[in-house]
């Protein structure tokens, strides 16, 4: 969304929610590259605090992706196209919202490329990782699910990957990629180490999705045989509820 749209969403939601994560894009202007980043917002003693996390990789569109997203009438498939954004210092933000909950946000290829971001995630071991992707449908057979599985196995995060409904719908993967080539409304994917992978679809006519999560405490052990007295909380997906205008 645009930064102006984010401000409206923040003002509408932060009165009732603990945190907000939004992907923001600002187009190039006056010869300067655009901006692509995640904006994180939370409350600290009733004061709204914001953190910006820039995207670390430019999107490179090759021949296959140009055809997959139907962009051949606008972009020459025989050329290489790079996303025109600035690349700033690498950062990963960890927010600890409670004694039992710490989450981190990844943007696009930070999920796909384990180094160096993966080392940071394994060192901290957050309960939840939210990955904002400029990608096609979040199917269990595609790369985000495979990368989420790695984090679910080690360090044991629950992972939520998200893409926009528009990107999911215009994506037409070729049959040899393991899909039937039809449009998909699977905009998110959940993965945890207990219940596995679950695709999350945006039903026709719905404007959003509410996810219900439950926590379960487990005992975790160190390499030298010590444990945390069952203080580690595991997040599991327990419900998916579509929202329409009439229910918001």
- Distance, in Å, from the CA atom of 137 to the CA atom of 95, rounded to the nearest integer, reads 27
Residue 52 lies in a domain: yes
How many domains is the chain partitioned into structurally? 1
Backbone φ and ψ of 61, nearest 5°: -95, 115
- Distance, in Å, from the CA atom of 70 to the CA atom of 133, rounded to the nearest integer, reads 18
Residue 224 lies in a domain: no
SS3 per residue for the chain: CCHHHHHHHHHHHCCCCCEEEEEEEECCECCECEEEEEEEEEEECCEEEEEEEECCCCCEECHHHHHHCCCCCCCCCCCCEECCECCCCCCCCEEEEECCEEEEEEECHHHHCCCCHHHHHHHHCCCEEEEECCCCCCCCCCHHHHHHHHHHHCCCCEEEEECCHHHHHHCCCCHHHCCCCCCCCEEEEEEECCCEEEEEECCCCCCEEEEEEEEEEECCECCCCCECCCCEEEEEEEEEEEECCCCC
- Distance, in Å, from the CA atom of 238 to the CA atom of 195, rounded to the nearest integer, reads 10
- Return the closest-CA partner of residue 50 out of 86, 83, 9: 9
- Distance, in Å, from the CA atom of 91 to the CA atom of 38, rounded to the nearest integer, reads 11
For the CA atoms of the chain, what is the radius of gyration? 19
Does residue 143 contact residue 150 with C-beta atoms inside 8 Å?
no
Q: What is the pLDDT of residue 183?
A: 66
Residue 229 lies in a domain: no
Residue 34 lies in a domain: yes
Q: What is the pLDDT of residue 174?
A: 59
Residue 69 lies in a domain: yes
Q: Extract the tokens encoding 205.
A: 């006519």
Q: What is the pLDDT of residue 228?
A: 80
Does residue 79 contact residue 1 with C-beta atoms inside 8 Å?
no
Q: What is the pLDDT of residue 177?
A: 44
Per the structure, the complete domain to which residue 40 belongs is given by 1-89
- Return the closest-CA partner of residue 17 out of 35, 43, 36: 43
Residue 59 lies in a domain: yes
Residue 60 lies in a domain: yes
Residue 77 lies in a domain: yes
Q: What is the pLDDT along the chain (248 residues), one digit of tens a residue?
A: 899 999 999 998 888 888 999 999 999 998 899 999 999 999 888 888 999 999 999 999 889 889 888 888 899 999 989 999 999 888 899 999 888 899 999 999 899 887 788 888 988 889 999 999 989 999 999 999 999 999 998 888 999 999 999 889 888 765 444 445 556 899 999 999 888 999 999 998 898 999 999 998 888 777 788 888 887 888 999 999 998 876 55
């Amino acid at each position: 969304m645009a930064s102006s749209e984010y401000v409206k969403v923040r003002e509408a939601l932060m009165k009732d929610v603990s945190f907000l994560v939004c992907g923001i894009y600002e187009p190039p202007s006056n010869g300067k590259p655009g901006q692509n980043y995640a904006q994180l917002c939370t409350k600290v003693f009733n004061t709204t605090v914001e953190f910006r996390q820039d995207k670390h990789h430019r999107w490179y569109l090759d021949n296959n992706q140009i055809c997959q997203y139907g962009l051949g009438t606008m972009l020459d498939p025989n050329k290489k196209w790079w996303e025109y954004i600035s690349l700033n210092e690498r950062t990963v933000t960890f927010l600890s919202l409670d004694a039992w909950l710490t989450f981190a946000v990844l943007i696009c290829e930070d999920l796909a490329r384990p180094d160096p971001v993966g080392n940071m995630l394994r060192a901290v071991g957050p309960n939840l990782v939210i990955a904002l992707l400029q990608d096609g449908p979040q199917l269990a057979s595609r790369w985000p699910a495979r990368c989420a599985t790695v984090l679910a196995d080690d360090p044991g995060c629950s992972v939520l990957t998200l893409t926009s409904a528009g990107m999911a719908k215009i994506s037409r993967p070729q049959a040899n990629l393991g899909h039937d080539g039809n449009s998909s409304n699977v905009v998110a994917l959940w993965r945890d180490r207990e219940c596995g992978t679950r695709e999350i679809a945006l039903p026709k006519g719905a404007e959003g999705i509410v996810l219900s999560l439950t926590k379960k405490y487990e005992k975790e052990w160190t390499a030298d045989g010590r444990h945390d007295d069952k203080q580690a909380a595991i997040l599991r997906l327990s419900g998916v509820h579509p929202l329409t205008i009439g229910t918001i």
